[in-house]
Chains A and B, each alone.
Chain A
Amino acid sequence: MDIASLLEWLQETSLAVHIRDSLFAFPLIESTHVIGLTLVFGTIAIIDLRLLGLASTNRPFQRLAADTLKWTWVAFAVSALTGGLMFITNATVYYHNAYFRAKIALLALAALNMLVFEVTTRRSVAQWDRDASAPPLARVVAAASLVIWISVIVTGRMIGFTTTRATVAEPAPVEQNLEDLLGFPGESSPPAPAEESK
């Protein structure tokens, strides 16, 4: 099965059809995705700022990690699940979207970045657990992590502005209503936010 037919199959599954046909499903899934990703970034930032020596410096790293990272993984699971559900509603379009691809590449980079930390500095954690900031390599990893995850948020947001949901008839964009009220019906829209203002 090649990728094109896989994408076709995904977006014709009854789950994808159900989400597309529902007025509520996509907005609620997307909102849950935002809740997941804010908790992912919010908790990762706590770890990264500790490694950089900018916050929580009075706590041993291991303790902080034990308090924080399990929530990161729960939140990541929620984000991945809801992200997958959004993807299948319009798989072909997302697959070819440049921001979607950039976001997936950034997620892979984030994983690689984490792996670098796990196989290097994390192994010697006993030596720096109580230091105010981690060794140089871990600080580079932490700074990279913050940049990568902010980029994931930006590219993720851009996907919403550069794709249109396939089948559901959207209500008229607000910009058009505004024009009607101003009495310019028929005029082409003002610089409408990309294809849809999401």
Chain B
Amino acid sequence: MKQFALWLSTTSPSVYIQEHNSWTIPAIQSIHIVGIALVMGSVLMIDLRILGWAWVDQTLRQTTDRFGPWLTGALWLLLVTGILMVIGEPVRELVTLSFWLKMALVAIGAAVAIAFQRALRRHEQHWEDTLVHRRSIKSVAVMTFLIWICIIFLGRLIAYDHVWGSWSPSERQ
């Protein structure tokens, strides 16, 4: 992985970002934060609806129709800006434990978001009448929110991977 990161850092898009890093890195990171903010707002509202704490005058489908597209759009924005950050600082990103833990959780978080929107469209009535009231579904909603909180933690910890001590690959070199 380190070999790949080193090779990536010599490619021309990477060199461009590095040579202009006084504005490229903060700009990409800021857009990335706006993206995660849209995800957090959307996930919070859908989860609150599932818990019955907000949007109760709207059906689950109406709530998801309002926030689902913003959630999906923000995830794409995060993917693009995330890839740009990896290209710009390959070693800083790829040679950390935080990054890979984050990617594992992102895979889970995104899969849950996509699977939920699909399942709701397919079995709308069942979700509105039965599933949304189930305790297990409500726990999944809380879990999903916590996963996104952990994703933010791990994202920020990429800059502080030394907190993992000897588990961090960047500490071992």
Chain A: residues with CB nearer than 8 A to chain B? 23-24, 26-28, 30-31, 34-35, 37-43, 45-46, 55-56, 58-59, 63, 67-68, 71, 150, 153-154, 157-158, 161, 171, 174-175, 177-178, 181-182, 190-191, 193-194, 197-198
Per DSSP, are chain B's interface residues mostly helix, strand or loop, or mixed? helix
Chain B: residues with CB nearer than 8 A to chain A? 2, 6, 9, 18-19, 21-22, 25-27, 29-30, 33-34, 36-42, 44-45, 48, 54-55, 57-58, 62, 66, 70, 89, 91-92, 95, 149, 152-153, 155-157, 159-160, 162-163, 170-171, 173
> How close is A55's CB to chain B, nearest CB, in angstroms?
7
Check if B29 sits within 8 Å of A157, measured CB to CB: yes
Residues of chain B contacted by A34 (CB below 8 angstroms): 33, 36, 152, 155-156
Check if B171 sits within 8 Å of A171, measured CB to CB: yes
Query: How far apart sit A175 and B6, CA to CA, in the bound complex (Å)?
Result: 11
Residues of chain A contacted by B58 (CB below 8 angstroms): 59
Beyond A23-B163, A150-B34: 8 further Cβ-contacts under 8 Å?
Answer: A34-B152, A37-B33, A38-B36, A42-B44, A67-B48, A67-B55, A154-B30, A178-B6
> How close is A32's CB to chain B, nearest CB, in angstroms?
8
Query: How far apart sit A104 and B139, CA to CA, in the bound complex (Å)?
Result: 38
Query: How far apart sit A156 and B90, CA to CA, in the bound complex (Å)?
Result: 24
Query: If the complex has contacts A154-B26, A154-B30, A178-B6, are A71 and B44 also in contact, measured as CB distance less than 8 A?
Result: yes
Query: If the complex has contacts A27-B157, A38-B40, are A158 and B171 also in contact, measured as CB distance less than 8 A?
Result: no
Query: How far apart sit A198 and B95, CA to CA, in the bound complex (Å)?
Result: 15
> How close is B88's CB to chain A, nearest CB, in angstroms?
9
Residues of chain A contacted by B25 (CB below 8 angstroms): 161, 193, 197
Closest partner residue, chain A, to B33 (CB atom): A153
Check if A42 sits within 8 Å of B41, measured CB to CB: yes
Which listed residue, B18, B70, B152, B160, touches A35 by the CB 8 Å rule? B152
